[in-house]
Amino acid sequence: MTEANHRQTDKPVDTLFLERWSPRAYDGMPMPEADLMTVLDAARWAPSASNNQPWRFVYGIHGTEAFNRLANLLVDGNRRWAEKAGALVFVVSVNRTGAPGEETRRPIPTHSFDAGAAWMALALQARMLGYFAHGMAGVKQDEIPAALGFNEDMKMEAAIAIGRLGDPEALPEDLRSRETPSQRRPLSELAFEGRF
């Protein structure tokens, strides 16, 4: 049994998993670069098929031109709260080994799965440093490849807002009422012995 952050489970999972959640109320303060590099480094240590490490990160710290460029690539529904994050990170995956043009290149079928593992490592390291990471699929997919200089192998996976908690009262009313940790389906609906 573990209880934390208005969440409860009957298994003895570490409280870290319950304490990670996705708030929208950030404090608008720049994230120190050393802390951002630490969370990106945690992501780098994620496992991946054949150790291909197909994740790439484009980041910007609050108050910089890079941050503004990334914030402009979020859909309005995300931008309105995420622009108060301390940093934005765009997680990109590469779907082939080697560099474009090399002959011995192979596809990486697990590129998105691997990038997902990196995001979770980032999110948990962020929480351990007192930050909160919030993933966002709501990005301007059509504009991103040109704006960020993608090569032909790159796929946009998700953006991440990272920062310290701000005052939920400062959120627009519709977001304020949703600013609470969510629950989960029971394990019995998700895990099956041997087959479905």
Ligand X SMILES: Cc1cc2nc3c(=O)[nH]c(=O)nc-3n(C[C@H](O)[C@H](O)[C@H](O)COP(=O)(O)O)c2cc1C
Distance between CA atoms of residues 76 and 111, nearest Å: 28
Q: Are 118 and 44 in contact (CB under 8 A)?
A: yes
Least distance in angstroms from the C-beta of 147 to ligand X = 18
Return the sign of the alpha-carbon dihedral for residues 169, 175, 176, 179.
negative
Of the pair 5, 68, the CB lying nearest ligand X is at 5
Binding site for ligand X (CB under 6 A): 21-22, 78, 134-138, 158, 181-182
Of the pair 138, 168, the CB lying nearest ligand X is at 138
Of the pair 19, 27, the CB lying nearest ligand X is at 19
Least distance in angstroms from the C-beta of 86 to ligand X = 17
Distance between CA atoms of residues 141 and 24, nearest Å: 21
CA dist 186 to 8, 11, 191, 192, Å? 11, 11, 9, 12
Of the pair 97, 117, the CB lying nearest ligand X is at 117
Least distance in angstroms from the C-beta of 191 to ligand X = 18
Of the pair 136, 162, the CB lying nearest ligand X is at 136
Strand partners, 162: 87, 133
Least distance in angstroms from the C-beta of 98 to ligand X = 27
Q: Are 18 and 123 in contact (CB under 8 A)?
A: no
Least distance in angstroms from the C-beta of 190 to ligand X = 14
Of the pair 22, 97, the CB lying nearest ligand X is at 22
State the CB neighbour count (10 A cutoff) for residue 47.
Answer: 10
Q: Are 114 and 54 in contact (CB under 8 A)?
A: yes
Least distance in angstroms from the C-beta of 194 to ligand X = 29
Q: Are 162 and 87 in contact (CB under 8 A)?
A: yes
